Structure 1
Amino acid sequence: MMKNIDPFLLTILGLIVPGLLTGVGAIPVFFTRNVSQGKLDVFLGTAAGVMLSATCFSLILPSIEENGGGFRGVLITSLGIFAGAVFLDLIDKYSPHEHLLDKRVEGNPSDSLKKIWLFVIAITIHNFPEGMATGVGFGGDSVANGLPIAIGIGLQNMPEGLAVALSLVRENYTVKKAFLIALFTGLVEPIGAFLGYGLVTWFSPILGFILAFAGGAMLFVISDEIIPETHSNGYERQATYGIIIGFIIMMILDVALG
């Protein structure tokens, strides 16, 4: 089925669409302000499972193969994973950082609004390396490697977009303005995606390391950002099953797309 689609068109869509899905995720804010925390956590958990599966099968395993396999391939891939994780850790350490899925700051309303804007800025910054991971996936030898990454990141962007929009509406922003701000947080992702694609194209001799680097960055995001977020509101068990189901779904899709 995928062979009947123009690879160039597929690549362009894969680089752009995941970022736009942040805005798609915010669309429900036009109809309701009451989305249960449990549903958000399950959705985000499922997205984390999809991202984890895509990272394993579309970045890390191709990296080992690209690096020649065997002990040497595993060693280079391991170094790349660690480097990618450290890179994201540094971004995380020196950039605004707030977790916010339906959380409010008690007391002064200005404190709540400040926390929300820190969250918006943090999501915007973290979307850039996620976009790079998508670009790296599509920049490899097979377009099919990029599709699972794009799907996983796109699914993860949707509940984030909804969380941003809901939080801003509750702070008396208009629905339209809240939606546009949520959409904006995802627009940096295509920029990162095209940069990641360019890096692979320009530095093809070290494609294996770049794939591993992107894999390490994604593992850090999943472990440090997404999973803790889904386990902090009392819906840990539901979110855990969401992660498992998401992993299985993406594993099946990866085989089908391959």
Structure 2
Amino acid sequence: MVVSTVFIGLIGCIFAGMATALGALPIFFTKEISHKHLDGLLGFAAGVMLAATCFSLIVPSIEYGGGGLNAVILTSAGILSGGIMLDLIDRYAPHEHLLFRDKEKSVSSSLSKVWLFIIAITIHNFPEGLAVGVGFGSGNVYDGISLALGIGLQNIPEGLAVALALKRENYSNRKAFNIALLTGLVEPIGGIIGMLMIKISKPMLPFILALAAGAMLFVISDEIIPETHEHGFERIATYGLLFGFVIMMILDVTLG
């Protein structure tokens, strides 16, 4: 049973990562995606991640901790630790906080900035994979599947953003697609580490679940939401977030 759970978890992590490539597919059929549509999609992604964090990581963390004040304190410590972990990575790993640069604002260093953005997406895919791996590693396959679906959904607009940024720098469709795919393949690595962490230290399950939740909350607040408010379409992005949250909540309850 353990082997089958690990196998299903690995498949789930690969699926979540491959969704990045699914998001990049439209570059073969269109030359441009408006800020309006991309901000709406990214808002949806933020809502999906937020719901997955709440219902598939934080709530199970408190439940596995036995409920009560001690469980809440342990979960809180895990959330804060996850946020601090991502903050340190954010500070010391070179990357750029941008999805697009408007053509009229592009500069000679725009290509290097695009690559710094790709590094940022790759770095932030790791805690997402970690969360999926932890979900499966907890032994609750339904939580793992819910997280894999949620992370997969939010990876779609990220893959599109990476591919479009590269197309703006005159990369071919094939190269842009392949690079977007590679950014998502970090997630299975994070997933394997997450499952191993649970298998090695089962008593630490509540803390590790909360750690993954804190890392994801940091990404949502520090990266995704600010990006959706940069181009004047914040209301569309906000409704996208609401719809994403509701859809992920329904999926979580249905699967659970």
Alignment of 1:185-204 (within 5 A): 185-204=183-202
Match for 1:25: what amino acid? G
Corresponding residue number in structure 2 for 1:44 = 42
Q: Superposition pairs for residues 28-67 of structure 1, below 5 Å?
A: 28-67=26-65
TM-fit CA distance, 1:8: 5.5
The answer (yes or no) to whether the contact 1:106–1:112 under 8 Å persists in 2 is: no
2:185 is paired with a residue whose SS is helix
Counterpart CA distance in 2 for 1:10 and 1:138 is 8
What code does the residue aligned with 1:220 have?
F
- SS at the partner of 1:110? coil
Displacement after TM superposition at 1:109 (Å):
4.8
Distance 2:217 2:93 in 1: 19
Residue 80 of structure 2 is matched in structure 1 by 82
Distance 2:139 2:23 in 1: 31
Q: For residue 206 of structure 1, what is the amino acid of its counterpart?
A: M
Distance 2:209 2:15 in 1: 21
- The one-letter code sitting in structure 1 at the alignment partner of 2:29 is F
> Contact 1:105–1:111 at 8 Å: present in 2 too?
no
**Aligned residues of 2:57 and 2:212 also touching (Cα < 8 A):** yes
Q: Is 1:173 aligned with 2:162?
A: no
1:3: which partner in 2?
none
TM normalised by structure 2 equals 0.94
Residue 96 of structure 1 contacts residue 119 of structure 1 at CA under 8 Å; is this kept in 2? no
Q: State the distance in 1 between where 2:106 and 2:248 align.
A: 43
- Mapping of residues 103-182 of structure 1, within 5 Å: 103-104=101-102, 109-182=107-180
Asked if the contact 2:127/2:190 (under 8 Å) is kept, the reply is yes
C-alpha separation in 2, matches of 1:107 and 1:223: 25
Aligned identity (percent) is 62
| SS class of match (2:84) | helix
d(CA) in 1 for partners of 2:26 and 2:143? 31
Letter in 2 for 1:248: V
Q: Are residues 200 and 250 of structure 1, via their aligned partners in 2, closer, same or farther at CA, if it must alter by over 3 Å?
A: same
Contact 1:59 1:137 in 2 (8 A): yes
Bigger mean CA offset, 50-59 vs 147-156 = 147-156
Q: Which amino acid in the other structure matches residue 44 of structure 2?
A: T
- The SS at the match of 1:81 is helix
Aligned residue for 1:249? Answer: 247
Partner of 2:15: 17
**Following TM superposition, by how much is the alpha carbon of 1:99 offset from its aligned partner in structure 2, in angstroms?**
2.5
Supply the distance in 2 between the matched residues of 1:239 and 1:124 (Cα, whole angstroms): 23
Distance 2:21 2:98 in 1: 17
Structure 2 Cα separation of the partners of residues 121 and 29 of structure 1: 20
Quote the RMSD (CA, aligned, Å).
1.6
Q: Which stretch shifts more, 145-154 or 241-250? A: 145-154
Give the Cα separation in 2 of the matches to 1:63 and 1:108. Answer: 45
Unaligned runs of 5+ in 2: none
Q: TM-score scaled by structure 1? A: 0.93
After TM superposition, what 4+ stretches of structure 1 lie above 6 angstroms from structure 2?
none
Q: Distance in 2 between matches of 1:107 and 1:216?
A: 34
Runs (5+) with no aligned partner, structure 1:
1-5
Q: Is the 8 A contact 1:59 1:214 kept in 2?
A: yes
Deviations 1:78-118 (A, max 9, x none): 11111111001111111122133232475775311111111
Structure 1 residues 95-104 or 185-194, which shifts more?
Answer: 95-104
Mapped to 1, the partners of 2:232 and 2:135 lie a distance apart of 35
Cα distance in structure 2, aligned partners of 1:181 and 1:7: 30
